Structure 1
């Protein structure tokens, strides 16, 4: 907590974002996200997906033939740089023994009103991730090797009316005339999934669908509970406490620091307003100068300049 308290306000948002990304990227949480979002992994259990992400230990090495993190910096010439929260691809074993590779992008959007639609931004990200596959997954002679992209957007601070909503945006075939039907895998190359959570969700009530994902996400990404409360939810929903213990504790400490800072700021504002009221009374009643008044009230020098601005305006 001492370390957290030393962090300046300008860095608190950066640290909060970093902790959110670390929690989401942990295999305990990411496996549940993949289970809910990726159609190609629906037949697998959360534990099976977790093992795919974690890989296997061979001696002192971890070998992972199925799961790969991709560089979070997505640069395309003449199109600029995009920074992804999480970008990975996973080769998902199918029931016929084959693997299907899909790309997964996960973004945490703490601002529910960024000034644009998250859906249009999702389409931009899907397009960028498809484009960056050029030369590695497909080329001008092998377009069919293009891999499907999932872009998942988590909104931890959504309005209450949207709490627990999950919306999917994908491509579907619409036959205008004729009877020819294409295989879905030909055109099904991009899916956007938006998850809306509200921090005031009643923890005594389960979400209608995917509660095993939504409740842990809501609790982990919002400081609605203290550390022990979060531990209880983590254990209740079967997550491995040790895997995310440090990040959860840091998140709670950061939340306490922000709350303490807000309380102190509120007290400072209240003290400033009271001092201004006292000075105004002295000005009217005793006809004292501003300097005499601040000396009489023993106002700290660092607060004087702020109060003086009020009387100069």
Structure 2
């Protein structure tokens, strides 16, 4: 993104991302994800997962991914931390990170769950490889915090879930899981699964069409469907029993408005003024000015209409 684009759209995109993360981090929604995705929770009710097993308040964009600062930040989550940043690599943050107690166990084993709300399935590199790196970091960062020395039995199982908002047609409405499995090459011995099944990566690709998978359909309603927040709120209540509070509804409304190009922070007005000034100073056509400012295709018509109203 160019500096001009960053000035025009960076604030809006950041605001949308933050609102989307806040919506996604509601325990009501996380409980649906845990029940659908994790074997440990499949026999539990959504209500019990939400009230008994999800611990603390999910952290949004706070815990480092890279090595240098992960453990420092994790100290603040006794129900958890969201970014990882190496001094040399710069700060990279987990979108949402929280802890959940595993049902039906007396041991305080807690899977660490990271959910990334990606807006593209192909950002120029393999998201699957990035997800594997994140999961690996979430395991290695436990040393010196959750276990010390050679006490490797205390390593906690890690799930990292990536929700890709705008998947290509051939990927849309798909859920793929990747995890370690045992392959016996010779002999009869089998290791117990708890010893090696530590890394779990789940890729969830949202499509535009309706689907019978309840989790994908719920997320599609929240993030993909073109409808006002109050309509989405009613759908979530009637179809999933998710009752949003006033604050949660406000975040959903903010996200919906931003996704429709409503610039609450004045970015839209600045884009319009920049176009007008550029046309006046250069004599370019509106189409040429939009091209030079790299105005997204989906926003050109709205800006053109707004500029015509001024004349």
Q: How does 1:52-71 map to 2 (within 5 A)?
A: 52=52, 68-71=78-81
Measured against aligned partners, the alpha-carbon deviations of 1:116-161 in whole angstroms (never above 9, x if no partner) come to 1111001100111111100122233211111110000001111233
Alignment CA distance shift 1:22-1:45 (3 Å): same
Counterparts of 1:15 and 1:78 in 2: how far apart (Å)? 27
1:69 CA displacement: 3.3
Alignment CA distance shift 1:135-1:145 (3 Å): same
Q: What corresponds to 1:146 in structure 2?
A: 155
Return the TM-score normalized by structure 2: 0.72
Asked if 1 retains the 8 angstrom alpha-carbon contact of 2:8 and 2:270, the reply is no
Q: What corresponds to 1:158 in structure 2?
A: 167
Q: How does 1:133-212 map to 2 (within 5 A)?
A: 133-198=142-207, 200-202=208-210, 206-207=211-212, 209=213, 211=214
Measured against aligned partners, the alpha-carbon deviations of 1:34-71 in whole angstroms (never above 9, x if no partner) come to 11222222221111001025679xxxxxxxxxx94322
Asked if 2 retains the 8 angstrom alpha-carbon contact of 1:167 and 1:195, the reply is yes
1:264 CA displacement: 9.6
Counterparts of 1:120 and 1:22 in 2: how far apart (Å)? 26
Q: What corresponds to 1:103 in structure 2?
A: 112
Alignment CA distance shift 1:100-1:78 (3 Å): same
CA RMSD of aligned residues (A): 3.3
* Residue 19 (structure 2) pairs with residue 15 (structure 1): no
Asked if 1 retains the 8 angstrom alpha-carbon contact of 2:139 and 2:156, the reply is yes
Gaps of 5+ in 1: 1-6, 57-66, 273-299
Counterparts of 2:234 and 2:87 in 1: how far apart (Å)? 48
Higher-Rg member (1/2): 1
Counterparts of 1:302 and 1:154 in 2: how far apart (Å)? 39
1:190 CA displacement: 0.3
Aligned with residue 123 of structure 1, among 120, 128, 132? 132
* Residue 45 (structure 2) pairs with residue 45 (structure 1): yes
1:112 CA displacement: 2.0
1:187 CA displacement: 0.4
Counterparts of 1:143 and 1:29 in 2: how far apart (Å)? 32
Asked if 1 retains the 8 angstrom alpha-carbon contact of 2:278 and 2:284, the reply is no
Gaps of 5+ in 2: 1-6, 57-76, 289-311
* Residue 234 (structure 2) pairs with residue 242 (structure 1): no
Q: What corresponds to 2:234 in structure 1?
A: 232
1:241 CA displacement: 2.5
Asked if 2 retains the 8 angstrom alpha-carbon contact of 1:110 and 1:157, the reply is yes
Asked if 2 retains the 8 angstrom alpha-carbon contact of 1:27 and 1:53, the reply is no
* Residue 234 (structure 2) pairs with residue 254 (structure 1): no
Name the SS of the counterpart of 2:135 in structure 1: helix
